[in-house]
Amino acid sequence: MSWIEETLYPGWGQRFRVLRELAREQSPFQEIVIFDSESHGRVMLLDGAVQITEADEFVYQEMITHVPLLQHGAAVRVLIIGAGDGGVLRRVLQHTNVRQAVMVEIDGAVIRLVRKFLPGIAKDAWDDPRAHLIVGDGIAYVAEAQDSAFDVIIVDSTDPAGPGEGLFTAAFYRDCARILSPGGLVVNQCGVPFMQPDELRDTSRRRACAFPYVSAYVVAVPTYVGGFMTLGIASKQPIERIPVAQIEARAAQAGVLGTTSYWSPALHNAAFELPPYIAAALAN
Ligand code: SAM
């Protein structure tokens, strides 16, 4: 039996025992590999970095979606950038108050292969009438968008290299600020600070160029190895701690309470308690 090694870090990594390789394709943007693993169900790598496994996808998807939507409390229009696996789209559409979810993914090959080999990630979200799927560059989309009516922008991108690089710039965050409603929030993945210490620090500085309120929260994704991963969040309004009972009421009203396996009303607030080594990166 063969192994596939993640090549994210030059000197350290994880490996999976492969039961069967299902796809290996070089798209115009990245190499896409999907395989059945012995330990984590189906796994997708992009350019050698783990993007999603069937076993733990719920952790990341729930936290990158439910935290901003329930922090906002009444999100009606949501913009998703990247997230080609469809897992965020599915979680966004769980919220009954959402009337439209625009998803802009640059790589049509990711969507095609995920729909074929990982259909359980998005389930039937692709066909939801509230979903508006655009295969295109998220950077260009926010630069060109005219309206300012998105309540939440979720940036579920690859790391800041290749097509995802421009999703971590001050110019991109300024465009996000322009198209967000006054109480709107933008969330984006900021890597694993223990292994990628500059990612949260640099992107927090850039977010601060566009938003007066910048924060971050943590999530322990088993296959994004190296300790907590951080999700950066920014807004034009203060990002306040909401009483747990109120978060619970919002989740019940939105139809997500009791549907989650990682997110919970208490964890929603707890995730903003940053270990000092992570808080330091946010402050500098
Ligand atoms: N949840 C997983 C994670 O964070 O590792 C999956 C991430 S998702 C598969 C990342 C997606 O972002 C990829 O499919 C990639 O094609 C897309 N992406 C990268 N740069 C982009 C851009 N400029 N515009 C839109 N999508 C982009």
pLDDT digits (tens, 9 = 90+) for 175-211: 999 999 999 999 999 999 999 989 999 999 999 999 9
Q: Tokens 């009791």 sit at which residue?
A: 258
Q: Whose CA is nearest to atom 8 of ligand 1?
A: 83
Ligand 1 and 160: CB distance under 6 A: no
Sign of CA dihedral 188, 194, 198, 200: positive
- To test the ligand 1 pocket, which listed residue (25, 105, 173, 225) has its Cβ within 8 A of the most ligand atoms? 105
Nearest CA to ligand 1 atom 2: 51
Find out whether the beta carbon of 86 lies less than 6 Å from any atom of ligand 1. Answer: no
| Residue 276: per-residue pLDDT | 96
**Contact call for residues 117 and 22 (beta carbons, < 8 A):** yes
The catalytic residues are: 156
| Among the listed residues 237, 232, 202, 198, the one whose alpha carbon sits nearest the alpha carbon of residue 218 | 232
Q: What are phi and psi of 223, to 5 degrees?
A: -100, 5
pLDDT tens track for 75-131: 999 999 999 999 999 999 999 999 999 999 999 999 999 999 999 999 999 999 999
Two structure tokens written together for 207? 């977010």
148 pLDDT exceeds 80?
Answer: no
Chain length of the chain: 284
Does residue 165 have a pLDDT over 70? yes
- pLDDT, the chain, mean: 96
| CA 245–ligand 1 middle distance (angstroms) | 34
- Which pLDDT belongs to residue 284? 59
